[in-house]
Chains A and B, each alone.
Chain A
Amino acid sequence: MKKLFLCTCNKTLNKWLDYARIEKEMGSTFDAIHIHDALCLEEGLTFLDSEVSAEDSVVIGACTSQIIGAPMSKRLKCEHISYVPLREQVAWVHKDDQKGASSKASVLLHDAAIQVDYMDPQTIVETDIEKKVLIIGGCIAGLKAASDLLKLGVEVMLLEPSEWSRKSYEEMNQFMAESSNLKDAIRDLVLSSKKAKTVRGKITELSGNAGLYQISLKHDSGKEESNLVGSIIVATNAEHSPPPIAKMCRYGKSDRTLLITELPTLIAKQAAKDTKTIFVAVDPSHQLSTVEGSYLLRTITQASEKGNTVILAHSDISTKDENLYRAARKAGVIFVRGSLEKVKDSKKGMVCRLENTLESQVREFTVDYLVLQTQLKPSRSTGQLANVLGLELDQNGFIKTRYSKMKPVQTSKRGIFFAGSAKTTWWPWLFNQSRRDVI
């Protein structure tokens, strides 16, 4: 039975709420509605004892969940309870408007009625928790998670893509920090996550609940095994993919066109006097994330400091560190705000045409190289993985956060978390909720 209890709170809530109207509007939503004064006092609690049975779903509209929540939870026999803080969310904010207050109360109570239907049964987390975490890696975040969990004394199994090596970590993550810092960080992480059991292969099946998941693994060697883990952390990498303008820019067809991720290698090989003109283009449809922006700025600064003439066609420049932008300008990078419209591969070089919107004028640049800003997309394995694990994806194909603000690392499934670029969070945060669920 779905029951609604409305507390009049020392007969003060009547001042703000039209209880008769609320009762009428809630009539079809609940099986029973009781209005009672001072539910939090002994007399009120006794009343609840007599009215509520273990199978009921209960909505309580009262003062605030802080005051009423604790005594109720201890007392009530049922599992599905939702508190609607009427005093706090209605009476306090709609002081002079009984009509508005009552309408809002109805909406909140109605929401709560739906919510109790959707509540996970409270007993779902296994009490017999497996103190072991599976990290599905591919990213520096996976290593960081492994390293942290090991420090906490948690057993870790690190599932890595087949072809992975330390060098891949460096290459795949070079956009995150300056290369020397990154190398050091990776070296430390590899060292401190040594105790993790590393498996090369993929996960084929998942069953069970948070705290006790059963997973089936298929090793690259063909071997299959089944394991119990308490929690899973998805730390698959994001991939740099060519932007939509790549085709127009003859990427893959011309030697003069490359991706920004390939630029550092080109510069490293360059002889001191052999300077080039390099046109770097950001796809206009792509809003740069701060991490992409910082990487772009660092890379073009290096290219420019080596004596190359670097032109950047861009829209909004995003970075967490304004000084990176300052450094790029100081290094002499030529910033042109506009989007590449036409590219011609000529003998003299790539002819890049665009309108510089800051002077409303079309400009043509003939350059030695055309470099394209990549777009970070979820790694190809992410979708497949989400399918096996039963996780929801967001519109861009990244793993969906349960609650982006307060639970930025929880997936839609309890006991499964993510770290790093599996969702474009940029630093390998490990979130100790995992530990809480595991231990």
Chain B
Amino acid sequence: MVKQETMLDLEFRSWLLEQPEGETLLRCYQCGRCTSACPVAEIEPSFNPRLFLQKILIGDKSIAENQLVWNCLTCEQCEVRCPEHVKIPHILILAKVRGLMAGNVPLAALDRARTIISEGRSLSVSSPMLKTRTKMGLPDLGTPSMDQIVAMLADIGIVGKLENVKSVYGDAEDE
């Protein structure tokens, strides 16, 4: 559908271009090969990597708040086929990062991140798990120094962020 929009706010675009590997976005000439290569686009017509890149290129940041970006498999098929080596999955990752504070993050992803930051693993290690390892004759792996990790991340502010973010996904359907 054609709708009208006014712009030009390049703040999001500029931020993205400054991120590591973000500048590969500029190589895009909108051929659309990414979209035809994408296994998600095959089953979900509104998931269109080429269109996402186009929007970011012209400064439209709606993509960062669109739950669709979280449908990216990070399979990199698009990047493999891209004639200009645009790091498409990475650019979608950066869009996700931008959308975080507005709550565009699946609850499961948020929970997983919280576990990683608090326990150093993406899942809580329980005693039956440890027992299984011992039974199988596998060595104890120990635990990393979490205080060190958290201290290291201080300037990024991830801990505070994770406390404040509320996922808009909630329990509702993901569309």
Contacts and interface: CB of A to CB of B under 8 A. Distances in A.
Direct contact of A and B (CB under 8 A): yes
Interface of A: 277, 309, 311, 325-326, 329-330, 332, 334-337, 355-356, 358-366
Contacts of B51: 358-359
A30 B163 CA distance: 99
Contact of B26 (A330, A336, A359): A330
Contacts of A309: 8, 10
Nearest to A336: B58
Given A325-B29, A356-B58, A365 B5 contact: no
**Of A311, A359, A362, most B-chain CB atoms within 10 Å:** A359
**Of B1, B50, B59, B84, most A-chain CB atoms within 10 Å:** B59
B26 to A, nearest CB: 5
Given A358-B30, A364-B7, A335 B2 contact: no
Interface string B23-43: 000111110000000000000
A299 to B, nearest CB: 18
Nearest to A334: B58
B37 to A, nearest CB: 17
A186 B64 CA distance: 52
B30 A337 contact: yes
Contacts of A359: 51, 54-55
A330 B50 CA distance: 18
Contacts of A330: 26-27
Contacts of B27: 326, 329-330
B2 A332 contact: no
A277 B26 contact: no
A361 B57 contact: no
B3 interface: yes
Interface residues of B, number: 23
B8 A362 contact: no
B8 A332 contact: no
Nearest to B23: A330
A158 B57 CA distance: 51
B4 interface: yes
B2 A334 contact: no
Contact of A358 (B2, B6, B10, B54): B54
B30 A364 contact: no
A364 B59 CA distance: 12
Contacts, number: 55
Contact of B58 (A277, A325, A363): A363
B8 A277 contact: yes
A138 to B, nearest CB: 37
Given A360-B1, A362-B5, A364-B5, A334 B54 contact: no
A359 B6 CA distance: 14
Contacts of A277: 8
Contacts of B84: 326
26 contacts: A309-B8, A311-B58, A325-B29, A329-B28, A330-B27, A332-B26, A334-B59, A335-B29, A336-B58, A337-B30, A355-B2, A358-B30, A358-B54, A359-B51, A359-B55, A360-B2, A361-B2, A361-B5, A362-B3, A362-B4, A364-B4, A364-B5, A364-B6, A364-B7, A365-B8, A366-B8
A342 to B, nearest CB: 11
A363 B26 contact: no
B175 to A, nearest CB: 20
A336 B5 CA distance: 14
A335 B8 contact: no
A141 B54 CA distance: 41
Contacts of B2: 355, 360-362
A317 B6 CA distance: 25
A329 B55 CA distance: 15
A359 B30 CA distance: 11
Nearest 6 CB-CB pairs, A to B?
A362-B4, A364-B6, A329-B26, A358-B54, A359-B54, A330-B26
